[in-house]
Amino acid sequence: MTAETFNDLKIFSKPLTPDGAAVLMGFPGSGLVGTIALQYMVDQLEFELIGTMTSKFFPPLAMMNKGIINDPIRMYKKDNIAAIVADIPIHPMICYEVSNGILDWLEPFKPKEVLTIAGIITNEPEKRVFGVATTTEALKRIEEYTQILPVGSISGIASSILTECKIRGISAFGLLGETVNAPDPRSSAATIEVLNKMYNLALDVQPLLDQAVEIEQSMAKLSEEVQSSENAPKKDLPMYG
C-alpha cells in the first residue's frame, strides 16, 4: 500500500485495475443513502479493501464495526468494479479539493466510468431513484433504469465529483435516491436495484430491507450518543476560546 498526496488529501492504496474500472462512490448525505448502499454491496460481494484516505480537513470521527474502528474513507475493488465508501461528511468548503484529489488519483487508471450515489429529499413516501449524467451519451446508459431529473440541482461532494468528471471528460452518473431526513436503507436498496441492472450484481436487497428497522434504530441511537459526546467539550470546558 503506497501513499500519495494530492494537495491536502493523502491516499494510501493499492493500484486499481487499469482496464477501465467502474468506480462507485458513496458519501454520507441525506439519508446516508450512498454510504449504506455501497457498504452493503462491498460486504455482501466481499470486495477487497485496497486503501484509505485522510485529510487535515476531514472531521475527527471514526465509526466502529464490531469494536474495530473503520478508516473514515475506504477504497475497495473486485474484478472491474471499484468502490469508495465514506463514513464522514465532506464539508462544502473542501468538496472541490477532495473531488480533485480523488480524480487526480483515479485518472491514471483510466476508469471506464464514475457513479456517485446520494440522497434527495422529496418528503414523498416513494423510493424512486433519479438519474443525472455528465453527457448525453452517458445519460443513455441510465435512462431506462432511473427517472431522469429534467431540471433541478445537486449540491455537496456528489456535485463536485460529477462536475470534475465532466471537465475531465470522464463519463459519470449520479443516482439520487428519494429519501427522508434520516438513515434510509430502503432508499439505498432502491439504488442497489439500479446497480444490479447496470453491473449485473444480482445483489439480494431483502436482507437490507429486513435490517432496515434495526439499522434505523441503532443509527438513531448512535446519533444521540455522538451528539452528546460532541457537545460535551464546549459544555464542560467553558475556558476554551
Binding to a copy of itself in span 53-92, by CB under 8 A: 54-69, 71-72, 87-89, 91-92
225 binds a copy of itself (CB under 8 A): yes
Residue 181 binds a copy of itself, judged by CB under 8 A: yes
Residues 6+ apart with CB under 8 A from 7: 97, 100, 101
Nearer to a copy of itself, 19 or 43 (CB): 43
Near a copy of itself by CB under 8 A: residue from 106, 132, 194, 203:
132
Q: Which stretch binds a copy of itself (CB under 8 A): 14-22, 102-110, 191-199, 221-229?
A: 221-229
Name the segment binding a copy of itself (CB under 8 A); options: 15-23, 47-55, 77-85, 188-196: 47-55
Rounded Cα distance between 7 and 4, Å, is 10
Q: Kindly calculate the radius of gyration of the chain based on its CA atoms and give it in whole angstroms.
A: 18
Contact with a copy of itself (CB under 8 A) among 26, 101, 177, 183: 183
120 lies in the binding site for a copy of itself (CB under 8 A) = yes
**What is the footprint of a copy of itself within residues 184-213 (CB under 8 A)?**
none
How far is the C-alpha of 8 from the C-alpha of 149, rounded, in Å?
A: 33
Q: Which residues of 42-61 are buried (b: 16+ CB within 10 A; e: fewer)?
A: beeeebebbbbbebeebeee
Question: Residue 124 — φ and ψ, nearest 5°?
Answer: -120, 150
Distance CA 76, CA 52 (A): 9
Nearest distance from C-beta of residue 178 to a copy of itself, angstroms = 11
